Amino acid sequence: MGESTMMLKIKRVPTVVSNYQKDEADEPKGCGRNCLKQCCIQAAKLPLYGYKWKNVSVKGTDSSNCVSKGLPVSFLDSLVLGEWEERMQRGLFRYDVTACETKVIPGEYGFIAQLNEGRHLQKRPTEFRVDKVLQPFDEKKFNFTKIGQEEIVFQFEASECGEVQFFPEAPIEVENRPNVVAINVSPIEYGHVLLIPRIFECLPQRIDHESFLLALHMAVEAANPYFRLGYNSLGAFATINHLHFQAYYLAVPFPIEKAPTKEVATLSSGVKISRLLQYPVRGLVFEGGQTLDDLSKAVSDSCICLQNNNIPHNVLISDCGKRIFLLPQCYAEKQALGEVSAELLDTQVNPAVWEISGHMVLKRKKDFEEASEQNAWRLLAEVSLSGERFQEVNTLIFDALSCRVDESTNPAQLDEPDAESQPQDDKEAAYQAMVTRKHECIVQQ
């Protein structure tokens, strides 16, 4: 009996939390466009979610300011979905993503295919070079300070007292470097939002320690394994050069989350680094650590290393912030060199973090109807670095983390298995080497 295709239906969530209220009779303020520029922002008030942070020092805090009593554990979920649904009812999205067909493709991995014919027609075009990971912010090009206040869902800040706080209306204080969560007006899935760290600092799309830790805190606060955050560097299909993370809900496991892994290093902080096995895209997986800061620092240090070496990459924050996938890629480079087949180019799929993770956003009905695990695997294999190049990237990352492989060991073993040949037997010899520096670690195989 052949395998059947499982169709997915988006469950609409009623607006149980909606704090953005607009009185149409009010006189327009500022320029009248309700923008995030100086002309309008001074009088603006938006909801503020204060997230719980770890390693709280009781010294100097005033618990009387905490208003977490009575808030359910899933409050952030309710806030995101309720506010997102309210924006949907007001027609702020470019298309109705809930009308897009979605199915789980039969096969071992369960790749997810979505037919989204409107996204590439209405999505903002890329306005910068794709061959440089680090590029300066350009205020003349589109950036998130140009969106309307109605697109902002809430402010997202560390709580003043260490426990969850929520304020339905709070002023936007530019001098306090606010982080905001905004809707993605060209959504891939239900609840698709953007986390924009320190929005008014106009940071370019590049990872830093503070911003990545913020993204991890959002994953932890959501406390929902179906809520993932993703990051695309320039050159890895980020389309806006203004620092942001994406996030949305999808109530099935991503194929990459089901792929086996093999531990290759352990940092002194307890962070474990593994490599993906039996998956078309080569990558590293980070998990563990004594604190959330430990995990965040290991990943952000690795991303900074890739940025400084002009290596495009994608990041998936999974499992409520417990597992992080770091995925260097080269698809745009292959496109520029004419090394991608015309058949793949015709699909117009730009494999960013969601596609690499196994959620294939397809733009043609033909590709959706013919979607198969083999086709998904073939596309993603083109995204992956070669075995030799991936080993070189591993060496750069481990050097950045002060991890070194023993010279008597063949470092090419870090690269196996070959992504182009699907699963294969593990025949590698065990080894380990230990060094002490910024991140003391054990590299093992």
CB within 8 A of 121, min separation 6: which ones?
Answer: none
**Which of 44-58, 271-285, 367-381 is predicted least confidently?**
44-58
**Which of 71-75, 82-86, 439-443 is predicted least confidently?**
439-443
Residue 119 has pLDDT above 80, yes or no: no
Q: E-assigned strands of 199-356?
A: 227-232, 245-249, 261-267, 271-276, 284-288, 313-318, 323-328
Model confidence at 42, pLDDT cuts 50, 70, 90, reads: confident
State mean pLDDT over 29-57. Answer: 75
Structure confidence at residue 428 (pLDDT): 34
For 385, the token pair is 């670095």
Model confidence at 201, pLDDT cuts 50, 70, 90, reads: very high
Which residues are bridge partners to 166 per DSSP?
Answer: 49
Model confidence at 440, pLDDT cuts 50, 70, 90, reads: low
**Which of 61-65, 72-76, 82-86 is predicted least confidently?**
61-65
Structure confidence at residue 15 (pLDDT): 39
Structure confidence at residue 44 (pLDDT): 84
Model confidence at 61, pLDDT cuts 50, 70, 90, reads: very low
State mean pLDDT over 378-407. Answer: 87
For 57, the token pair is 């020092």
**DSSP category for residue 35:** B
Structure confidence at residue 128 (pLDDT): 67
Structure confidence at residue 39 (pLDDT): 74
For 245, the token pair is 């993370």
Structure confidence at residue 36 (pLDDT): 84
Q: Pairing relation of β-strands 441-444 and 432-435?
A: antiparallel
Q: E-assigned strands of 23-164?
A: 45-51, 102-104, 112-115, 152-158
Residue 318 has pLDDT above 50, yes or no: yes
Q: What is the pTM of this model?
A: 0.85
CA distance 314 to 181: 20
For 70, half-sphere exposure in the C-beta direction (CA atoms, 13 angstrom radius) is 3
Could you tell me which residue, 339 or 125, shows the higher pLDDT? 339
Cβ contact 257:435 at 8 Å: no
Residue 184 has pLDDT above 70, yes or no: yes
Q: Of residues 192, 242, 244, 359, which has the active-site annotation?
A: 244
6: enclosing H helix or E strand: strand 6-8
Could you tell me which residue, 209 or 65, shows the higher pLDDT? 209
The separation between CA 47 and the C-alpha centre of its own chain, rounded to angstroms, equals: 23
What radius of gyration, in Å, describes the C-alpha atoms of the chain? 22
Residue spans of the domains in the chain: they are: 40-54+69-403
For 306, the token pair is 């890739």
Provide the 10 A C-beta neighbour count for residue 394: 26
For 225, the token pair is 């394994």
Could you tell me which residue, 117 or 47, shows the higher pLDDT? 47
Residue 437 has pLDDT above 70, yes or no: no
CA distance 325 to 344: 25
For 423, the token pair is 């699963």
CA distance 168 to 146: 23
Model confidence at 58, pLDDT cuts 50, 70, 90, reads: very low
Structure confidence at residue 54 (pLDDT): 54
The CATH topology of domain 40-54+69-403 is HIT family, subunit A (3.30.428)
**Which of 17-21, 78-82, 177-181, 343-347 is predicted least confidently?**
17-21
Cβ contact 222:75 at 8 Å: no
Q: In the chain, what is the straight-line distance between the N-terminal and C-terminal CA atoms, in Å?
A: 40
CA distance 147 to 193: 14
CA distance 281 to 323: 17
Cβ contact 355:349 at 8 Å: yes
Provide the 10 A C-beta neighbour count for residue 309: 14
> Is 439 considered catalytic here?
no
Cβ contact 266:272 at 8 Å: yes
- Average pLDDT of the residues of the chain: 83
Q: Pairing relation of β-strands 152-158 and 180-183?
A: antiparallel
CB within 8 A of 185, min separation 6: which ones?
Answer: 92, 93, 94, 151
Model confidence at 229, pLDDT cuts 50, 70, 90, reads: very high
Give me the amino acid identity at 233: S
**DSSP category for residue 217:** H
